[in-house]
Amino acid sequence: MGQLSGKVAVVTGASTPRGIGSAIASRYAQEGASVFLVAEGTREQLEQVQRACREHAEAGRVEHALFDLSQRGAAEAMIGDAVERFGRVDILVNNAAIRAQHDFEDYTREIFERVIAVNLAAPFFASQAVVPVMRRQGGGRIINIASQLARVTYARRALYGLTKAALVHLTKSLAYEFGRDGIMVNSISPGPIRTQFVIDRDAADPEGARRRVGTYVPIGRLGEPWEIAEAALFLASTTATFLQGEDICVDGGYTTH
């Protein structure tokens, strides 16, 4: 029996085969959870992650759906779809996000509103929709994927960091409000992780990549998606019963300076 046997997890932003969302989904499946994969990406990508999750012997049901979480009502519809398919939601991982990188004066209102919609409004309304479900079940876990840039700044990341800092605040607010309902709410702030996006970026500028790691990451390397998945497993498991409203920074020491 896996640590999450009998549990149902909804993981957003799960379509990238080498991404944090897909790593979390796969780890949950490995521990026996049924997983609902959600993304705005392609159905082919989701099916690839779905197959990878199903390869685990302990995995429960693994299903997927496309939702554009920047649209009004999409987050609520996602939770409704999950409940209709699985009958319950025990774990919600709000992972989907847009990486906005612009000089401050170049942010348009359109960019601002879309980034806010995905990075902050979607977790807000998905959590709002899932709380009554978890309350009826006697509890649940909400895990928000924030960023080390919720704590520190970096060039051309003003809007991204703003949304992630707000997400950490939302985590604490929900933890305070719903702890007595057995709903545990925490966040993870990953540092530089070797996702497909980062691999592609660094391949185009290997010298810049070495400089960034050497300057900002005391451990001397990028993190791996599975290392974030291990933190997400801990927060989702029954052993994490007194950890509430915390942001766990998994960043190789990025925020130590």
Q: Is 142 left (phi over 0), alpha (psi -120 to 50) or beta?
A: beta
Find the catalytic residue in 28, 107, 154, 160.
160
Q: How confident is the model at residue 238 (pLDDT cuts 50, 70, 90)?
A: confident
Domain count, the chain: 1
Give domain status of residue 138, yes or no. yes
Widest Cα–Cα separation across the chain: 53
Q: How confident is the model at residue 17 (pLDDT cuts 50, 70, 90)?
A: confident
CA nearest 147: which of 236, 68, 248?
248
Give domain status of residue 85, yes or no. yes
Across residues 158-174, what is the average pLDDT?
A: 98
Give domain status of residue 167, yes or no. yes
Q: Is 28 a catalytic residue?
A: no
Give domain status of residue 206, yes or no. no
Does residue 1 register a pLDDT over 90?
A: no
Give domain status of residue 214, yes or no. no
Per-residue pLDDT tens over the stretch 190-206: 999 999 989 999 999 99
The rounded Cα 227 to chain-centroid distance in angstroms is 13
Domain that holds residue 172: 8-193+227-243
**CATH code for the domain in which residue 188 is found:** 3.40.50.720
Give domain status of residue 67, yes or no. yes
Give domain status of residue 211, yes or no. no
Residue 143 dihedral angles phi and psi, to the nearest 5°: -125, 115
**Residue 139: per-residue pLDDT:** 98
Give domain status of residue 128, yes or no. yes
Does residue 97 register a pLDDT over 90?
A: yes
Q: What's the CA gap between 150 and 153, in Å, rounded? A: 8
